[in-house]
């Protein structure tokens, strides 16, 4: 089940509910293992300045629009707390890097306005990718993507960080 979010220009955006995302994530991990298909998970944290509820909402709307324009229909995005998780089925590290690069170009914006409030926004993106032969649990995959995002956040990286780069 998806939750609908509508922004100021009435563009219909759909994000998966967290519980639905978790179930689909578990399913995709099992499918990846069974059919030896790659799988990638993006973890996106937004930073806004000034950090107010209104500017954070504006940043989330920009991110949702970016996800809507850059993701495939088969990709599975969700807002988990204040961060986004995006599952990319059948996507290897090269494909995930390409998706991240497109998102970075849209999400690192210096001057934005939401409800007449100016703000600056940056996205910290970490991701992990598995080959079809990898045998990892959904929890381990999520941990790897989270570790990569935390590295990107701590390093103030303007580029997405792959978990494979941390080894």
Joined tokens for residue 79: 């807002």
Q: Hey, which residues does 6 pair with through a beta bridge?
A: 12
Q: What pLDDT does 116 receive?
A: 80
CA pair distance 138, 29, nearest whole angstrom: 6
Q: Hey, which residues does 43 pair with through a beta bridge?
A: 85, 126
Fold of 2-166: Alpha-Beta Plaits (3.30.70)
CA pair distance 18, 26, nearest whole angstrom: 12
64-110 pLDDT, tens digit each: 999 999 999 999 999 999 999 999 999 999 999 999 999 999 898 76
Structural domain boundaries of the chain?
2-166
22-56 pLDDT, tens digit each: 999 999 999 999 999 999 999 999 999 999 999 99
The model's confidence at residue 112, banded by pLDDT at 50, 70 and 90, is: confident
Cis ω for the linkage preceding 142 (within 30 of 0) = no
The model's confidence at residue 11, banded by pLDDT at 50, 70 and 90, is: very low
Check whether 4 has a pLDDT greater than 60: no
The model's confidence at residue 3, banded by pLDDT at 50, 70 and 90, is: low
Q: Taking the C-alpha atoms of 42, 105, 157 and 13 in order, what is their torsion angle to the nearest 10 degrees?
A: -40
Q: What is the pTM of this model?
A: 0.89
Q: How far is CA 150 from CA 4, 74, 115, in A?
A: 28, 26, 30
Quote the longest CA-to-CA distance of the chain.
Answer: 50
DSSP 73: T
């Amino acid at each position: 089940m998806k939750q609908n979010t509508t922004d100021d220009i009435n563009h219909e955006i759909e994000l998966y509910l967290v519980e639905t995302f978790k179930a689909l994530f578990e399913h995709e991990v099992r499918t990846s293992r069974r059919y030896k298909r790659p799988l990638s998970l993006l973890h996106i944290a937004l930073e806004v300045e000034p950090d107010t509820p209104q500017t954070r909402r504006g940043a989330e709307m920009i991110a949702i629009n970016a996800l809507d324009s850059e993701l495939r229909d088969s990709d599975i995005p969700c807002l988990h707390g204040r961060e986004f998780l995006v599952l990319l089925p059948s996507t290897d590290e090269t494909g995930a890097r390409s998706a991240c690069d497109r998102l970075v170009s849209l999400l690192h914006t210096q001057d934005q306005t939401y409800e007449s409030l100016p703000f600056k926004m940056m996205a910290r993106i970490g991701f992990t990718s598995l080959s079809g032969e990898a045998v990892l649990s959904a929890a381990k995959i999520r941990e790897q993507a989270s570790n990569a995002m935390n590295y990107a956040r701590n390093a103030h990286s303007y580029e997405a960080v792959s978990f494979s780069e941390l080894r």
